Amino acid sequence: MNTVGNIVKNRDVFTVQRGQSVADAVKFMVEKSIGAVAVLDEDRLVGIFSERDLMKRIVAKGLDPQKTRLQEVMTQNIIAAHPDESYESCLAKMQSHGIRHLVIAAGDRLAGMISLRDLMLIDIKEKSAAIEMMNAYLHYVPPAVE
């Protein structure tokens, strides 16, 4: 079984601190080409900040990203997956909660983050391999018996 812990184990984990400004976090996210970042209080996971948070909680409300701290606008009700969960379970969890980024954590210790796009690419690879196997089975012609 392909667990999300195995999927994220060799990836960089991008984080920001809760006291940082939104502007600093957004600049960091742009530099790293990521849509969401885990928010820490020292080394403890306390939230997530995403592009959606930026639009709904900063831009739409006319707040100043330079003056606003992440702790004021981050998503604190974190939807997380345990590193031992399957990618299918995580896809279902993301769909049921309407989220595009999922924190992978054991308790309040961050192991990584995964996006819906990441999981969909894995799902496509898995399904493609299964389809190829089924096609090979269906189109297999046994050698003639002499």
Q: Which helix (H) or strand (E) holds 36?
A: strand 36-41
The amino acid occupying position 6 is: N
**Using an 8 Å Cβ cutoff, are 14 and 25 in contact?**
no
State how far the Cα of 59 lies from the Cα of 71, in Å rounded to an integer: 16
96 occurs within a structural domain = yes
13 occurs within a structural domain = yes
Q: Total domain count for the chain?
A: 1
54 occurs within a structural domain = yes
State how far the Cα of 75 lies from the Cα of 100, in Å rounded to an integer: 13
pLDDT value at residue 1: 55
44 occurs within a structural domain = yes
38 occurs within a structural domain = yes
pLDDT value at residue 33: 94
pLDDT tens for 33-43 read 999 999 999 98
146 occurs within a structural domain = no
The structure tokens listed for 61 are 């409300």
CA-CA-CA-CA torsion sign (74, 78, 83, 88): negative
What CATH number is given to the structural domain containing 127?
3.10.580.10
pLDDT value at residue 128: 75
DSSP E strands in 51-121: the ranges are 80-81, 101-106, 109-115
Q: Please list the ranges in the chain whose pLDDT falls under 50.
A: none
State how far the Cα of 85 lies from the Cα of 4, in Å rounded to an integer: 6
144 occurs within a structural domain = no
145 occurs within a structural domain = no
- Which domain range does residue 63 map to? 4-138
Residue recorded with tokens 């639009």: 55
State how far the Cα of 62 lies from the Cα of 75, in Å rounded to an integer: 18
